[in-house]
Chains A and B, each alone.
Chain A
Amino acid sequence: MRRLHGARWGLLALAAVLGFAWIQFSRSPAGAQEHTPAQGARVGLMAPDFTLSRLDGQPVSLSELRGQAVVLNFWATWCPPCRAEMPALERVYQAHREDGVVVLGVNQGETGAAVNPFLKEFGISFPVLLDAQGNVGRLYRVQALPTTYFIDRQGMIRDMVIGGPMSEALLQSKLATLLGE
């Protein structure tokens, strides 16, 4: 009985020693993960950079906006939930632009002739970029419209919402997290 008792504690001690040895051997170099974040269109990775033109032809790069929180919204005029959430996006932009928040609309596959009347109708003042070939949409793996990424001041994607329409409260809650960090 005593031998069995000893074997039991021996097994536990062996497991503890092997476990600790593996934990010690496999630990990460300090800070390695923080210094080398990968790029990709998912939460926790750096937002891939791109350059697109505004309706007036002026180019805008995502990397130029580093230091500001970015709400990157992929949309199209023919998409009902995209249309429905536009007023909320505009209100959030107006409320937080002084706090360093940029709402960036990336229109998918349409021309300025189709987009301009829509922006006037809805009174949209945040920058809208034209992704006529859908290259940036593919870069961000957009498979459904609207898709919205929330990017922090360091350029990291902190959250994303697939589908819509997003309510103003939802947008405010996501921004509060983004600005609070």
Chain B
Amino acid sequence: MLPVIQIGHVALPTKPLILFAALYAGLWLAGREADRRGLDGERLWNAGFLGLGGGLVAGRIVYVLLHWSAYRSDPLAILSPKPGTIVPSAALAAGALVALGYLWRARSLNADAADAIALGLPLALILIDFGNLLNGDAFGVPSDVPWAIPLWGERRHPVQVYELLAIGIVLIVLWRRRQVARPGDLAWGSLLGYGLVRLIFEPFRAQSWVLTGGYHGVQILGLIAVLFALWALTRPRQPDTAV
């Protein structure tokens, strides 16, 4: 496992580095697809990096507000952020809002842009899963299957590998369909694929959100995403206009 990369006296945590690499790779593929569709791929890059900046600031502000009693006496410490001192859910929500707000203002929030983003998203998720494997994060439940990997004192399902391969298949399918799919269908396809991954593989994760009765909360959300995406993908097509 490689939780940090040591360069001289500087220790760089790999998790934020991989998250940044995932964002970069996802935006690269989304930007390429946007250009192919005649959109301005530069706008997706702008949206991505504005979202990153906005998300980090918002996540940090929420962390400081939640721990205001600690920061009140030392306001300069607010400017010294470290990994683990932002609220990820707030950062994610604010980052998405900033990115979508930028695209909306730039009049670039449409089905083609959603399709381009939908193509970049699985590539980003593949890198995140690779990072989880590297860090030993998002690990699997104990198992004695022949392909189990030793991790945290036990042999476990390599759930990071399952997800990485499954999302790889989603990416290949979307890539092959990108020229023939209706506008918006790649976005629904991406939601369908990721929903299926969560629905199928969530029970193999050791640290899962378990509800009363032993039900996995994320699995239920995955099923809702699958049904919603299927409903959208199978909606009747508009008949072609005869020329």
Contacts and interface: CB of A to CB of B under 8 A. Distances in A.
- The reply to whether chain A is a binding partner of chain B is yes
Interface of A: 1, 4-5, 8, 11-12, 15-16, 19-20, 22-23, 26-30, 32-33, 38-40, 42, 44-45, 141, 143-144, 159-163, 166-170, 172-173, 176-177
A149 to B, nearest CB: 12
A169 B215 contact: no
Most buried by B among A12, A38, A161: A38
Given A167-B80, A172-B70, 13 more contacts: A12-B230, A12-B234, A22-B199, A23-B215, A38-B154, A39-B152, A40-B152, A161-B84, A162-B3, A168-B74, A170-B82, A173-B63, A173-B85
Contacts of B215: 23, 27
Contact of B152 (A45, A143, A162, A163): A45
Contacts of A11: 230, 234
Interface string B119-161: 0000000000000000011000010000000001110000000
24 contacts: A12-B230, A15-B226, A16-B223, A19-B227, A22-B199, A26-B216, A26-B219, A28-B214, A30-B214, A33-B206, A33-B207, A33-B208, A39-B153, A40-B136, A40-B153, A42-B152, A143-B3, A144-B6, A144-B11, A162-B11, A163-B13, A169-B67, A169-B74, A170-B85
Given A27-B214, A30-B214, A33-B206, A170 B77 contact: yes
Contacts of B226: 15, 19
A26 B213 CA distance: 11
B interface: dominant SS: mixed
A169 B71 contact: yes
B143 to A, nearest CB: 13
Contact of A27 (B142, B200, B213): B213
Contacts of B181: none
A144 to B, nearest CB: 3
A27 B203 contact: yes
Interface in B23-72: 63, 66-67, 69-71
A169 B152 contact: no
Contacts of A23: 199, 215-216, 219-220, 223
Nearest to B63: A173
Contacts of B208: 28, 33
Nearest to B66: A173
Contacts of A26: 203, 216, 219
B11 A163 contact: yes
B210 A163 contact: no
Contacts of A44: 207
B223 A30 contact: no
Contacts of B84: 159-161
Contacts of B230: 11-12, 15
Interface string B64-105: 001101110110011010111100000000000000000000
Interface in B206-243: 206-208, 210, 213-216, 219-220, 223, 226-227, 230-231, 234-236
Nearest to A177: B67
Most buried by A among B80, B210, B226: B210
A143 B14 CA distance: 12
A11 B227 CA distance: 10
Contacts of B13: 162-163
A11 B220 CA distance: 18
